[in-house]
Amino acid sequence: MKTIDLDHQSVRELNQGLHDQASACTEQEWLVLNPAGKHAIACGLDAKLSVDIQGHAGYYCAGMNQQASVTVHGNAGQGVAENMMSGLVRVTGNASQSAAATAHGGLLVVEGDAAARCGISMKGVDIVVGGSVGHMSAFMAQAGRLVVCGDAGETLGDSLYEARIYVKGKVASLGADCIEKPMRDQHLAELRELLKRAGIDANPSDFRRYGSARELYHFKVDNAAAY
């Protein structure tokens, strides 16, 4: 295991070493000590690496991730796993706003709470939050699944496209064009698999499903007040 202590080495040195593994993978397992909330840790990875960050991470941790498995043993700042393409990012604590923004694939697991705009403009990523999410989560979400084991803040799923949302707790309010939909057997099976992958023990039958009413896809003069 390769150990990097950010008290003595820079984030740039860490990220360069991780990026070098894409062409010649000599170290698959990395341990990052003393992150101290530094920004852009483990960004832009493109190799099957395991990165354990022992402490809190700052903004955009594991952004643009491909293939790698990144675990933050603490909290993560704004934009964790932003624009992720594949792989796994896990936060054992809480995540700040815009977690997995615009992410295309992979799985983000936040074992605690996620703040506002979790999954904003998500494009295929799966997100499982063990706690609650803040307001405007899944805003303009286009594809993928958001699972919330706690409560959801105001305007959940505003201007939603084809992403699916599962919430176990209370929803403060739904955004424009987001509606509750029936939970069928296929959705229970899908949710069960997502919870298993995330390592979260919850009963799929306790969740409700939300999706797009598909009324905002095209402009209609009768819906002008909703725009």
Matching residue, tokens 């964790």:
80
pLDDT for res 227: 59
Residue 86: closest CA among 109, 65, 61: 65
pLDDT at 97 over 90: yes
Q: How far apart are CA 63 and CA 68, in angstroms?
A: 11
**Are the CB atoms for 202 and 183 separated by under 8 Å?**
no
Q: How far apart are CA 217 and CA 83, in angstroms?
A: 24
- Mean pLDDT, the chain, as a whole number? 96
pLDDT for res 226: 63
Q: How far apart are CA 218 and CA 97, in angstroms?
A: 29
Q: How far apart are CA 103 and CA 123, in angstroms?
A: 6
**Are the CB atoms for 176 and 158 separated by under 8 Å?**
yes
Q: Strand order of the sheet with strand 208-212?
A: 2-5, 29-33, 50-54, 69-72, 88-91, 107-110, 123-129, 143-148, 164-167, 208-212, 178-181
pLDDT at 46 over 70: yes
Q: How far apart are CA 79 and CA 127, in angstroms?
A: 13
pLDDT band at 213 (very low <50, low <70, confident <90, very high): very high
Tokens of 201: 């023990």
Domains and CATH numbers, the chain: 37-226 (2.160.20.60)
Reported as half-sphere exposure (CB side, CA atoms, 13 A), residue 129 has a value of: 34
Looking only at the bridges linking them, the beta strands covering 69-72 and 50-54 are: parallel
**Are the CB atoms for 95 and 115 separated by under 8 Å?**
yes
pLDDT band at 222 (very low <50, low <70, confident <90, very high): confident
**Are the CB atoms for 57 and 38 separated by under 8 Å?**
yes
Task: Taking residues 188-201, report their average pLDDT.
Answer: 98
Tokens of 207: 């969740």
